[in-house]
Every structure is written in C-alpha cells, then in structure tokens.
Amino acid sequence: MGDETMHGGFWTEIDPEEPRIVALTDALRAADGPADLAGVWPEAMWSRLVEDGVLRWSVPAEQGGDACPRPLAVQRYARLAEASLTAVFILSQHDAAVRRLATVADRPKAAEWLARIAAGRAMATVGISQLTTSRRLGAKALVATEIGEGRYRLDGSMPWVTGAERADVFVTGALLEDGRQLLITLPGDRPGLTVLPAFELAALQASRTAEVAVQGVEIDADDVLMGPTTEISTQPGAVGTAGLETSALALGQAAAAIGGLAALTPDRIDLVDPVDLLREQWSQAWAILMTCARGEGDAATAASLRAQANALALRSTQAHLTARRGSGFLRTDPAQRWARQALFFLVWSCPSPIAQAAIRDLAGLCPA
C-alpha cells in the first residue's frame, strides 16, 4: 500500500515535519509484521521513535519538549497507527503517562521525569486501570498505607501495563483505606516492584503488556503527583482515558485496511463500491475527529466518534481479510494481523456505553 491510498486529501493538518514523518511511517510499516510474529519487545521500532524525537511530542516546551498541538498530534497518531499499531499503542501509553506528569509539571519530580523523557533518556508508561475501566478492589487493588508524614507503603498490583518490562517510570494510582486516592510516580527499579510475564494477547503481543506486582514498595512525598483526594479520576487530565487518541488509532488501523482493499481494485471491480463507501465513512469520521481535536466538539460527539471509529476499524479489516481470501489468513499477511488488531478497540479503554454500542451494532440493532 502506498501513501497515496489514504493520505493526500485525507490528512488535513499541514505537518512541518512531513518528510521525517513519511520516513518514520515507512520504517515502522516495514518492521510491524516481523514485530508481530516475534512477539518480543520491538526495540528497533522503539529506538526509531526515540531517535526521531517522537517522545518529545507530548512534553511541554518548558521541559524541553515540542508541545505538539493536539490536532497535529492526533493526526500523527493516526498516521503512525496506519503503519504500525503496535508502535503507536506503546507510544500512546507512554504519552498518557507524560500528559499526567504535565498536569503537575510544577512538582519537582514530574519536571525531572519530563526533562529526562524529552532528552530520550527515559521511557514512561501508565498503570491506572485499577482506578478506571479495570478497577480491582480488595487484594488485587494497589493499596497505599500511610507510614509517616507524606510517606506510604504500596501493596497490590497494576493489572494492565504496556511496555512494563522496559519502563523507567510508572505513573500509577493507589487507594487508601479510607477510599481516597493518590496519583504517583513509581520508578521501575524501586525494590518490591516485579513485572510479571507478559500476557498472551490475541494481538499486539510485542507491546509486552503485563501485570506489575507491588509488594512493600515505599514512596515519599516527592513521588506523589496528586492527592490524597476522594476521587482523582474527577481531576482534569489525571486518569481519564484518552478518547480522541484511541479513536485516532482506530482510524489509522482502518486507513491501513482500506488502503489494502483499494490496492486490490485494479483486478477486482467488485471492490470499487465498497472501497468508495469505506473511504467516505472514513473521511466523515476523520472530519469529526479533527473538529474534536480543535476543541470544537463536545463529550457526546467524542464518544459517538469512538463508537464510529471502532466499527469502521472492524468492518474495514474484515472486508480486507475477506477480499484477500486464504492468502490473507497466513500469519505473514497484513490482512489477518489488522483484523486481529482491530479487536483491540473492543476491549481496551472501552467505557460501558461504547461497549454497549458495539454489541448493539454487531447484533444488528439500531442505536439506543
């Protein structure tokens, strides 16, 4: 699939780094299949992201970052996802941690980590699902016990952490016995922190997503980014899922599949109408994404977009796999990889209303 398939008029933000972005996506596209087959940490792809300064995109300028405007950042996410969902999924979890650090950049520890990240000397990831969509109470929750003024002992686990074995710092959340919460930085070399073997995932195995066990890990006031407070998830930018970024990943995945389907049309006239319709749907969804990224859309519009992007990723990847027939079912063919990866959007950071909309759509029911 060449860049002309979905690029051109579809990417609407003018990118000052266009030649570098094209070279980066070409490199990621070439590495994506081998990374999926190997299932180990994709060091070559991650090193390329670091070398190209991608880790600086989400870091504030005050800490040496690029402070990339959100519309351009969202577009870059989609373009990278079209080339390699694995690479940009890892990046998205890193950037989620960076965004949370940036909300409290006046804290010395946050500023220190942001500066190290901007210099390419640290990788961050986020482990807050225990406070949001995968909350685990009781023995499995990450529990903080106060052991002194501003000091806490952490016990429990972070259930879903991407790139855990490679991370230098985790941005995570813990629950106190009285129900209050903390948002903290947890260095990866802290005694008592153990990264368990990576989960055997249906796709994106190279993301090395794993559970992180925490036993008797001590932190002090410098490690606390926010709290203790009754509900950190109500604080702007603290733990909320990155809806627009996830929608951008889904539209990037759809762009790859639609491009693959379009590449078959010279010999398959039966595919012309499906490709045209999928492109039209993609263009409509993209326009909504850009509207929301510019701050012109409301929360309901963003939620509707997420459901629309999920559905488009599923339909386009299934269509491409079907058109590829048996060849597309080979592990070496992108069609099966994209179809497996599209399932990711049904389960990752997928709030109940979005999941319910997907189930109704799959069942052939009209929206509620």
Low-confidence ranges of the chain (pLDDT < 70): 1-10, 132-140, 231-242, 366-368
Domain residue ranges of the chain, discontinuous segments joined by + = 18-118, 124-234, 243-362
- Beta bridge partners, 193, equal 214
* Fold agreement (124-234, 243-362): no
In the numeric block, which tokens belong to residue 176? Answer: 């106190």
Architecture in CATH of 124-234: Beta Barrel (2.40)
Query: How far is residue 278 CA from its own chain's centroid?
Result: 24
The first and second tokens of residue 269, run together, are 């006239």
The yes/no answer on whether domain 18-118 falls in CATH 1.10.540.10 is yes
pLDDT at position 325, please?
93
Residue 229 near residue 250 (C-beta atoms within 8 A) = no
- Residue 138, pLDDT score: 44
Inter-CA distances, 346 with 78, 101, 170, 283, 305, Å: 18, 28, 25, 21, 14
Return d(Cα 18, Cα 27) in angstroms, integer.
14
Does the structural domain 243-362 have CATH classification 3.90.580.10?
no
pLDDT score, position 275: 96
pLDDT of residue 235: 54
Q: What confidence score (pLDDT) does residue 217 get? A: 96
Residue 336, token pair as written in the block = 């099966």
Q: pLDDT at position 46, please?
A: 97
Residue 150: the pLDDT is: 86
- pLDDT value at residue 9: 47
The SS3 of residue 307 is helix
Are 120 and 48 in contact by the 8 Å Cβ rule? The answer is: no
- Structure pTM? 0.90
Cβ distance 90 to 261 under 8 Å? no
pLDDT tens for each residue of 85-125: 999 999 999 999 999 999 999 999 999 999 999 999 999 99
Determine the pLDDT at residue 35.
96
Contact 129, 279 (CB under 8 A): no
Q: Looking at residue 10, what is its pLDDT?
A: 66
Distance separating alpha carbons of residues 75 and 62, to the nearest angstrom: 23
Structural tokens at position 204: 């994106």
What per-residue confidence (pLDDT) applies to 368? 59
- The Cα 199–Cα 367 span in angstroms is 34
- With a CB cutoff of 8 Å and minimum separation 6, the contacts of 325 are none
Nearest to 219 by CA among 195, 187, 196: 187
Q: In this structure, what DSSP letter does residue 252 have?
A: H
Residue matched to tokens 């109470």: 137
